[in-house]
Structure 1
Amino acid sequence: MNKTAIILGATGLTGGLLLQKLIDDNRYSTIKLFSRTRIEGLPNKVIQFIVNILELERYRTDFIADEVYCCIGTTAKKTPNKKLYKKIDYGIPVTAAKLAKENDIPTFLVISAMGANKASNVFYNRTKGEMEQDVLQQGIKNTLILRPSLIGGERNERRVLEKIGIVVFKIIQPLFIGPLKKYKTINAESIAQAMVNLANNVSKTEIIITSDNIKQIAEKKKKIDIYGIIRQIKLEICRQGNER
């Protein structure tokens, strides 16, 4: 294959791991990065567009690929201004999805968060929920929304409270069984691998995937295994809908 992938957020933890996976994957001949800063030492198959990521629509003629991976996200500490926070966590993914639809890109993957809910009173959860809703409204053939729990991994930046949270989660994780499994800490490596597996093994699917299922998909290579997990997710969604 000679596939082209777009990555938004390649300078972050999960996006950086994803980038390396796609570099090593012979199915991809071109990887396009849209970001504010340049990453040094990348191979020729990586094309970097150094842009104002908040004005992504200005680069629609370059926004052409087989797949879009959106790994964009900020924190309340880094972006205390709620207006700017929403421009990043809502605005960038939704604009990217609109461009993907406009340019006939068939596969769009985006990282959301556990607890995303457009009706939530919590600003962070509501923003993610609104983002999910408007991404799905674009009607891209393969729309895959990943809702990880607390993400583990080594970051360049210091997030003291998050690191404490991860340690606490690791201690209490044996208690997370049954429905609580989706709240277990998940490694960024697993999220990145799940995204690659999904992009290369699904067709005509719109689905939201929680942390426990992300981990399962990361460990599966065969198409039938991933489709089996997706069928289970859809059955569970239908069952919950019927119970309401």
Structure 2
Amino acid sequence: MKTALIIGSTGLIGSELLNLLLDSNDYLKVITFVKRDTGIKHPKLTQHIINFDKPETYKDLVVGDDFFCTIGTTIKKAGSKEAFRKVDFEYPRQFAAFALQNKVKQFLTISSLGADAKSGNFYLKTKGEIQDFLKDCNFESVSVLQPSLLLGNRTEFRLGEKVGAFFMKTLSFLFLGNLKKYKPIESETVAKALLKIAQTNNKGFKIYESDAIQEIGN
């Protein structure tokens, strides 16, 4: 029986994943790292309320088997590019470093379709940079999931995503062949794929684009 660790457990994908992990017979313990008490109670759940900007206070707590990184924000929500980068690059990088030091075996993370460290788009560039960092880490397994536009019930309202999701879902029948990976995907499907991939005992570094995530998570 394994121990799962997760950051981003209150987000769109993370909240779905947390429920799956708590229900899974593969995990005896589930550890979350959060900014404030979520009020979630479960016999398998250990919740660490931390200051993400004080890594020395939690570095020894990152101990387990499988680390799931579902943390993420937007530049608009974060308020600046610098604040966005802190959430989407610095925090995952710090947790990955601690996980590696503490002998965590595999690291699974959510990225974005089109992520590339050489991209001219700051969002995709940042996502690509954390992917490159993880590729150089010596985990037994690193799995990077690159979903397309996410569908699901967010806690905050994002008008642009709502409009985009409506039109892309309406036109989803057009996403065939090489375009399949651009089809919108449910957050629950991504969470299920994360869990299934964690159970496959993969070795090395692997990227899963959205169409592969859809197939695995269904």
Structure 2 length as normaliser, TM-score? 0.96
Q: Tell whether 2:209 aligns with 1:210.
A: yes
The amino acid that maps onto 2:74 is T
Q: What is the Cα deviation at residue 86 of structure 1? A: 0.7
Partner of 1:55: 54
Identity, in percent, stands at 37
Question: Is residue 2:171 matched to residue 1:176?
Answer: no
Q: Secondary structure, in 3 states, of the residue corresponding to 2:190? A: helix
Q: Displacement of 1:57 after TM fit?
A: 4.8
Q: 1:145: which partner in 2?
A: 144
Q: Using the alignment, how far apart are the partners of 2:163 and 2:99 within structure 1?
A: 38
Conservation of the 8 A alpha-carbon contact between 1:144 and 1:209: yes
Q: Could you tell me whether the CA contact under 8 Å between 1:54 and 1:87 is conserved in 2?
A: no
Q: Is the 8 A contact 1:8 1:71 kept in 2?
A: yes
Gaps of 5+ in 2: none
What is the CA distance between 1:73 and its match in structure 2?
0.5
> Which whole-Å CA distance do the structure 1 matches of 2:77 and 2:36 have between them?
17
Number of equivalent positions: 218
Bigger RCO (CA 8 Å, 6+ sep):
2
Structure 1 residue runs of 5 or longer lacking an equivalent are: 220-244
Deviations 1:179-206 (CA, angstroms, capped at 9, x unpaired): 1110000100011000100001123131
Pair 1:57–1:128, CA change in 2 (3 A): farther
CA distance in 1 between counterparts of 2:216 and 2:55 reads 30
Cα drift, residue 46 of structure 1: 0.5
> Separation in 2 of the partners of 1:57 and 1:212?
39
CA contact (8 A) 2:75 2:83 kept: no
Q: Which residue of structure 2 lines up, in the alignment, with residue 77 of structure 1?
A: 76
Higher Rg of the two aligned structures = 1
Aligned residue in 2 for 1:96: 95
Q: CA deviation at 1:165?
A: 0.7
Distance 2:143 2:53 in 1: 22
Change (3 A) 1:127 1:205: same
Structure 1 counterpart of 2:99, one-letter code: A
Q: Distance in 2 between matches of 1:143 and 1:41?
A: 28
Cα separation, 2, equivalents of 1:69 and 1:41: 18
Instruction: Give a deviation string over 1:8-30, Cα, whole Å, max 9, x none.
Output: 00111110000000111122111
List aligned pairs for 1:11-160, cutoff 5 A.
11-160=10-159
**Offset of 1:153 from its aligned partner?**
0.4
